[in-house]
Amino acid sequence: MKFRDSEKLRYQRIKPILFSEAAQIQGNYRKIPRSFCLADEYASENLFTAIRKPAIQYFDQRNIPWHDGLNRSRLPSNHLCCSQSCCVNFLYPLVENRPLAEEIFRAFYPGLSELLPFDRDERLPNGAFPYIAFEWIGSLDFLGESKRKGNSRTRGANATSADFAFRFRRQDGREQLVLGEWKYTEEYGGSDLGIEARKKNYDRAFNNGPFGEQGPSLYDSLFFEPFYQLMRLQLLAQEMERGDLGHEMDCDVVTVLHISPEANSEFRERVTSPHLKATYPSTGTLEIWKRLAPADKFLSISVERLLETIGQSTTGDLAWTDYLTTRYSW
């Protein structure tokens, strides 16, 4: 059974443990009642109780749409397999909790000395800047997307967006910005997205860095999901670091962090690009990307490993840890 299908079945079993009785009624997703969705008017319960109000307020104040969100995308999706809600459930509790965020991220970035406020984001209601930003597109149009696509950039729409982002000072004194991509039950077919207009969007950035040295055949092979997303986020990190328009948040280094379930073999193992599949036989998607991305600019960890790290933390909220363990232990 595919990971996505097994998760849908699992949610049917654990709905009574996690959600209110009213929310457990099957909700509509794309106009069809689904047992793995919450009742429409209770979509907010897709978020952990303690972060529900502040997370929704964070997105609303910044005009960030929720993916497949209800109430004109001002509320989270009611789909329980939503990767955006999964990401927010794991990371929003760190937005104001610097000691906990440092403890968790240091497990993956041992050179982390001090987490820094994300001071290009808007302030939180308490007047402080968050330590994690969501749907970050950069303070400048680094990839020229608004000019080429003919529309304004919006966090989470119409522009390459990092699902999450954070910055820290390293032990060597340099500042590093991390752009994050989060996956949950996603799986992709083999559709070629490489129409000419899309290729013109990113060819300048592609040829500006190490990718360009690998030739046009590589560029053409990356217009298959999830490689298309990986390429765009990696190019965004590259351009933020290059500084042609200015260094994003004055950071010296900009890297990409990818988080996805180890159990989602459909995502990790299926290589959708024919050229990459032939070039790297018997190699999974993320392993291929590690070979293609510039050295030390890409890190992939599993949701399972992140959950284990949170469970071992000394400053975490037990209710939050229990919630994550119940909901995301497959």
At 150 the pLDDT is 61
At 146 the pLDDT is 84
- Looking at residues 87-99, what average pLDDT do you find? 98
Chain centroid to CA 5: 21
Whether 267 has a pLDDT exceeding 80, the answer reads yes
Which range is least confidently modeled, 50-54, 217-221, 314-318? 314-318
- Looking at residues 231-239, what average pLDDT do you find? 97
Rounded Cα–Cα distance for residues 207 and 210 (Å): 8
pLDDT tens digit sequence for 237-255 = 999 999 888 899 999 999 9
Contact 266/4 with Cβ under 8 angstroms? yes
Chain centroid to CA 43: 20
- Looking at residues 295-322, what average pLDDT do you find? 95
- Looking at residues 104-130, what average pLDDT do you find? 98
Whether 299 has a pLDDT exceeding 90, the answer reads yes
- DSSP-based helix, strand, coil % in the chain, nearest 5: 45, 15, 40
At 100 the pLDDT is 97
**Burial (0-12, 13-18, 19+ Cβ within 10 Å), 264:** buried
At 275 the pLDDT is 96
Rounded Cα–Cα distance for residues 134 and 174 (Å): 23
| Alpha-carbon distances, residue 155 vs 2, 36, 137, 139, 255 (angstroms) | 31, 28, 6, 10, 19
pLDDT tens digit sequence for 3-28 = 999 999 999 999 999 999 999 999 99
Whether 110 has a pLDDT exceeding 90, the answer reads yes
**pLDDT band at 198; cut points 50, 70, 90:** confident
Locate tokens 């209710």: which residue?
319
Rounded Cα–Cα distance for residues 213 and 199 (Å): 17
Mean pLDDT of the chain, nearest integer: 95
Written as six digits, the tokens of 8 are 């849908």
Task: Give counts: helices (H), strands (E), the chain.
Answer: 14, 8
pLDDT tens digit sequence for 125-181 = 999 999 999 999 999 999 999 876 566 789 998 899 999 999 999 999 999 999 999
**Burial (0-12, 13-18, 19+ Cβ within 10 Å), 188:** middle
Backbone angles phi, psi at 169, to 5 degrees: -90, 130
At 149 the pLDDT is 58
Written as six digits, the tokens of 234 are 């990696």
Chain centroid to CA 280: 25
Written as six digits, the tokens of 235 are 């190019």
At 211 the pLDDT is 87
How many Cα neighbours within 13 Å face the side chain of 121? Answer: 29
Closest CA to 222 of 236, 239, 234: 234
At 12 the pLDDT is 94
Whether 122 has a pLDDT exceeding 80, the answer reads yes
The fraction of the chain above a pLDDT of 90, given in percent, is 86
Whether 118 has a pLDDT exceeding 90, the answer reads yes
Rounded Cα–Cα distance for residues 28 and 96 (Å): 34
Whether 314 has a pLDDT exceeding 90, the answer reads no
3-class DSSP assignment, residue 247: coil
At 80 the pLDDT is 98
**pLDDT band at 234; cut points 50, 70, 90:** very high
At 148 the pLDDT is 65
**pTM attached to this predicted model:** 0.96
| Alpha-carbon distances, residue 51 vs 47, 61, 63, 103, 317 (angstroms) | 7, 15, 18, 20, 12
* Beta-carbon contacts of residue 110 (< 8 Å; ≥ 6 apart): none
Closest CA to 128 of 118, 140, 138: 118
